[in-house]
Amino acid sequence: MGPGIPLAAPGALDRDTQALILGAFVAFIVPVLFLCVLSGPARDRVNDFYTAGRTLRPLRGALVLSGVYLSSATVLGTTGSVAVFGYDGLLIALCTLLSLGVLLLLAVPLRERAGYTLGDTFALRTPGRAVRIAVAVVTLCTCVPYLVVQLSGAGVTTAALLGLSGPGIEKTAVVMIGALVVCTTAFGGMRGTVVIQVIKTVVLLCVALAVSAVLLHRFHWSTDSLITAAEQGSGRPADYLRPGLRFAGSGDPEGTLDFVGLMITIVLGVACLPHVALQLGTAPDAATARRTVRHTLTIVAVFCLTTALMGFAASALIGAPAILAADPGGNGALVMLAGELAGGSATDAGGALLVVLVASGVFLTTLAVVAGVTLAAAGTIAHDLYTHVLRRGRTTEGREVAAARLASAGVGVLSIALAVGAQGWNVLFLTTLSLAVAASSLLPALVYSLFWKRYTRTGLLWTLYGGLACAVGLQLSGPVFSGNPLALFPDWHLDWFPLQTVVLVSVPAAFLLGRLGSVGLLGGIGSRRRPRPGLGPGADERAEADAY
């Protein structure tokens, strides 16, 4: 999700509508968050806090997993991509479904080896503190940038809903929303997160179906008329339904490679985000986890179809040039469309209700994503670093849950501080960076750990650290970081890597490093820890393995 999310074109909504939206936020969002807190575990049990007791049946689990998948990038970004880039936007929506296909392939073995964090999954094959530290580093490098982007967008959204502007208002909104979500995560745990994800999915489906019904009625239920009008509104009718608009200014072949890389990043990265992969651990068994992913495919497919319709309608009714003028990332297309369908400045009660529904869905989406990612980051700190690295497994469930709550606060404070400091900057590339790290480090490590019996501890460490270094290093050396007017630091010139997407290089490199490390062609990362006196080599690793 981009940092700017205008809810309508300037001046489209009057003060009464803005006040109604604010009232809906207070009357709907805040009680939902309190409900999440009340749904938290009654006792400080690790299983309840991390996995909601592993009791989610397929339908409820699918609603939760759909909520995890339908992030702000999908809700706002994909709609804007279809509106502005046409055919390329449709492919981006398709990639969301394909990423669920990747998760479906991993569902059974991943659930069979599921613990409380990804560190537990890898430690079953290669126990040891070094493995848990590496997994924690990769998890935090994936989660924190993702949180910064989400909180930055939430601050701009809140300011827009209040009819206010200015960096001070946006920073205050970031702090308030971040603190609210951190409290919800710390006290609600996974049970609270499950509640907010289910409500979010239901609300988003209602939003998508309501907006789709209104816009199809506007075009007399003719999709041909809708697509024809979208071509005219795009400003590039000859190219709108042809591939290549997304990176049209990058040149050839760089533009083609960038778009292929973007699709691979979405397909492989989203499926391996820590808070997505860990959601399978809430199912009672592997068969249920697989059925959960199948049901999720249906729900997400319906939403992606409505997203395509809403993107076409945004191009037809608002126009791609107007969407880009309001937000260069196109993320305001959905809410601008809602304002247009509601009647603009002449919004009546029914139109205001539609805008309120869209605004509530956008708010709830952002809050749910922040809660889920914060819980994944806090879990790796408390379970991997505190319990298994610092305490070496010698702690109680109550202390670990307390550590997880403190970690939630710590991750939240860090993310809030970074989001406040980055307010006004173009931090769009952080979302791609998070997905690239997940695709380059976690995916190869999971594939090797789950399916290759010769995978070793050295290979795992080379995969995790090597994939992370490659993804981050190439991203910081590309045009999205410097040397470009739209880059984070446009005046710097570190852009020796020509592509905006890095997975075409980083993913094969991570697989190669894991292979070479496992067959002994690469040395171990770091020095081997000396065993405790009297226990012999590998005693700590055996003790950790015995815990499972």
- Rounded Cα distance between 440 and 470, Å, is 8
Q: How far is CA 289 from the centre of its chain?
A: 20
**Full-model pTM:** 0.88
Q: Among the listed ranges 241-255, 327-341, 411-425, 508-522, which one has the minimum average pLDDT value? A: 241-255
Q: Is the pLDDT of residue 283 over 50?
A: yes
pLDDT band at residue 181 under the 50/70/90 scheme: confident
The upper half-sphere exposure of residue 118, i.e. CA atoms within 13 Å in the direction of its Cβ, equals 33
Task: Kindly state the helix (H) or strand (E) to which residue 275 belongs, with its residue range.
Answer: helix 274-277
Instruction: Find the mean pLDDT for residues 490-512.
Output: 90
Percent of the chain with pLDDT over 70: 84
Instruction: Find the mean pLDDT for residues 116-138.
Output: 92
Q: Is the pLDDT of residue 124 over 50?
A: yes
Q: Is the pLDDT of residue 353 over 80?
A: no
Instruction: Find the mean pLDDT for residues 120-129.
Output: 90
Cis-peptide into 6, omega within 30 deg: no
Instruction: Find the mean pLDDT for residues 171-185.
Output: 82
Q: Is the pLDDT of residue 178 over 90?
A: no
Q: Among the listed ranges 223-227, 281-285, 520-524, which one has the minimum average pLDDT value? A: 520-524
Q: Is the pLDDT of residue 527 over 60?
A: no
pLDDT at 543: 46
Q: Is the pLDDT of residue 18 over 90?
A: no
Bridge partners (DSSP) of residue 489 are 482
Instruction: Find the mean pLDDT for residues 436-440.
Output: 95
Highest mean pLDDT among 70-79, 325-334, 404-413, 520-529: 404-413
Bridge partners (DSSP) of residue 482 are 489
Q: Is the pLDDT of residue 537 over 50?
A: no
Which single residue is written with the structure tokens 């956008």? 362
- Rounded Cα distance between 30 and 52, Å, is 22
Instruction: Find the mean pLDDT for residues 480-509.
Output: 86
Q: Among the listed ranges 93-97, 293-297, 511-515, which one has the minimum average pLDDT value? A: 93-97
pLDDT band at residue 388 under the 50/70/90 scheme: very high
